[in-house]
């Protein structure tokens, strides 16, 4: 049940944040391996990107890749949030005094992030390529023309084999290890700090919102370079679809920095934050609320079982 709750939280949040994911992907592919002075600017910012995508491809294009994104949201978060919740419940993230241990929380959130990265990578590859496909007037990066998620899966398997689904897996595991550690550790610690200062003591929903808002800022700054790298590696495809631009994570990071500068590694930071902040807030709030409901249902179940065991016996004695 811990894993199902995590998956539902991630999938539910994806519906609202997918448009920002589309914008982020396009902006991160824009001007690929070109100096800022030589690159053609298709998207001048978040709002301009939303406008030109809707104008050229239609408003529904802002939800491109929603199906694989929801599959990704469920599979990745079921593993990541589920594993971390198990660690929390068993006290593996706390010190001897019962307080959150930063080191232990970072370890378990990183492990859960890596495992979720491997699990969700195939859906990530399909999602990114569908989101990158655009009208020629606003197209950036390599264009993969898939009719949908199923067609994308079949085409990748036929042209790239099983390995195609794990393009960029090293980059995404690195990104998720860092991002998950930053997200879940800051979320847990922020909740603890807010409660210790008397905030949201009687409002679990407010506590979850406050803690997740802090978490979103930390995550966006921590993972942006690795997020850019992941998107580039996902979208390049194999040598069967054209020249391979990057041979791996370090090669990608190095080439981006040399040709596009530090700015290149932080491309799409704005939409990344606007995607992560609400996604972090929604997924963690949903996750927190579902866990609270599950905990209450377990207590109520125990009460009912107790009553069923002992009340009939007491009536019989009377």
For residue range 254-299, list pLDDT tens digits in order: 999 999 999 999 999 999 988 877 766 666 666 667 767 777 766 6
Residue 6 has pLDDT above 60, yes or no: no
Which band of pLDDT confidence, cut at 50, 70 and 90, is reported for residue 316? Answer: very low
- Please tell me the predicted confidence (pLDDT) of residue 207: 84
Q: Which of 158-167, 272-281, 300-309 has the lowest mean pLDDT?
A: 300-309
CATH number of domain containing 204: 1.50.40.10
Residues 149-161 have a mean pLDDT of 95
Classify each residue of 104-125 as buried b or exposed e, where b means 16 or more C-beta atoms within 10 Å of its C-beta: bbbbbbbbbbbbbbebbbbbbb
- Please tell me the predicted confidence (pLDDT) of residue 192: 87
- Please tell me the predicted confidence (pLDDT) of residue 5: 63
Average pLDDT, the chain: 85
For residue range 194-209, list pLDDT tens digits in order: 899 888 888 877 887 7
pTM of the model: 0.78
Residue 69 has pLDDT above 90, yes or no: yes
Q: What angle do CA 202, 206, 211 make, to 5 degrees?
A: 115
Which band of pLDDT confidence, cut at 50, 70 and 90, is reported for residue 73? Answer: confident
Residues 1-12 have a mean pLDDT of 64
pLDDT top residue among 144 and 205: 144
Structural domain range at position 37: 2-317
Residues 45-56 have a mean pLDDT of 96
Q: What is the DSSP string of the chain?
A: -HHHHHHHHHHHHHHHHHHHHHHHHHHHHTTTTS-TTTS--S--SHHHHHHHHHHHH-GGGGGTTHHHHHHHHHHHHHHHHHHHHHHHHTTTTB-TTSSBPHHHHHHHHHHHHHHHHHHHHHHHHHHHHHHH---TTT--S-----SSHHHHHHHHHHHH-GGGGGTTHHHHHHHHHHHHHHHHHHHHHHHHHHHHTTSSTT-HHHHHHHHHHHHHHHHHHHHHHHHHHHHHHHHH--GGGS----SSHHHHHHHHHHHHHHHHHTTTHHHHHHHHHHHHHHHHHHHHHHHHHHHHHHHHHHHHHHHHHHHHHHHHH-
For residue range 105-118, list pLDDT tens digits in order: 889 988 998 999 99
| % of the chain surpassing 70 pLDDT | 86
- Please tell me the predicted confidence (pLDDT) of residue 181: 81
Which band of pLDDT confidence, cut at 50, 70 and 90, is reported for residue 231? Answer: very high
For residue range 84-98, list pLDDT tens digits in order: 888 988 999 988 888
Task: Answer whether 50's CB lies under 8 Å from 21's CB.
Answer: no
- Point out which residues pair with 100 in neighbouring strands: 94
Number of domains forming the structure of the chain: 1
For residue range 167-195, list pLDDT tens digits in order: 999 999 998 888 878 877 888 888 888 89
For residue range 23-45, list pLDDT tens digits in order: 999 999 999 999 888 888 999 99
């Amino acid at each position: 049940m811990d894993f199902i709750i995590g998956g539902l939280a991630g999938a539910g949040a994806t519906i609202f944040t997918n448009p920002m994911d589309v914008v982020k992907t396009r902006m991160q592919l824009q001007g690929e391996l070109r100096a800022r002075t030589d690159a053609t600017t298709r998207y001048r910012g978040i709002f301009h990107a939303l406008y030109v995508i809707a104008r050229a491809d239609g408003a529904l294009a802002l939800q491109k890749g929603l199906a694989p994104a929801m599959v990704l949201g469920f599979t990745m978060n079921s593993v990541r949030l589920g594993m971390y919740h198990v660690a929390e419940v068993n006290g593996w993230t706390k010190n001897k005094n019962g307080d959150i241990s930063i080191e232990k929380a970072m370890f378990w959130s990183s492990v859960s992030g890596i495992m979720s990265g491997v699990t969700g990578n195939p859906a990530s590859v399909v999602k990114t390529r569908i989101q990158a496909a655009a009208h020629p007037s606003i197209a950036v990066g390599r264009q993969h023309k898939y009719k949908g998620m199923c067609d994308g899966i079949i085409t990748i398997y036929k042209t790239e084999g099983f390995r195609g689904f794990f393009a960029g897996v090293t980059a995404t595991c690195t990104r998720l290890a860092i991002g998950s550690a930053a997200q879940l550790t800051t979320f847990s610690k922020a909740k603890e700090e807010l409660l210790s200062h008397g905030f949201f003591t009687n409002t679990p929903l407010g506590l979850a919102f406050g803690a997740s808002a802090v978490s979103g800022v930390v995550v966006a700054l921590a993972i942006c370079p690795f997020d850019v790298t992941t998107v580039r590696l996902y979208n390049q495809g194999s040598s069967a679809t054209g020249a391979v631009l990057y041979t791996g994570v370090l090669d990608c990071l190095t080439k981006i920095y040399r040709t596009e500068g530090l700015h290149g590694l932080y491309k799409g930071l704005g939409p990344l934050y606007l995607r992560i902040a609400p996604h972090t807030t929604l997924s963690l709030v949903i996750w927190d609320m579902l866990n609270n409901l599950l905990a209450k249902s377990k207590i109520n179940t125990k009460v009912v079982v107790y009553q069923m065991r002992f009340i009939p016996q007491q009536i019989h004695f009377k």
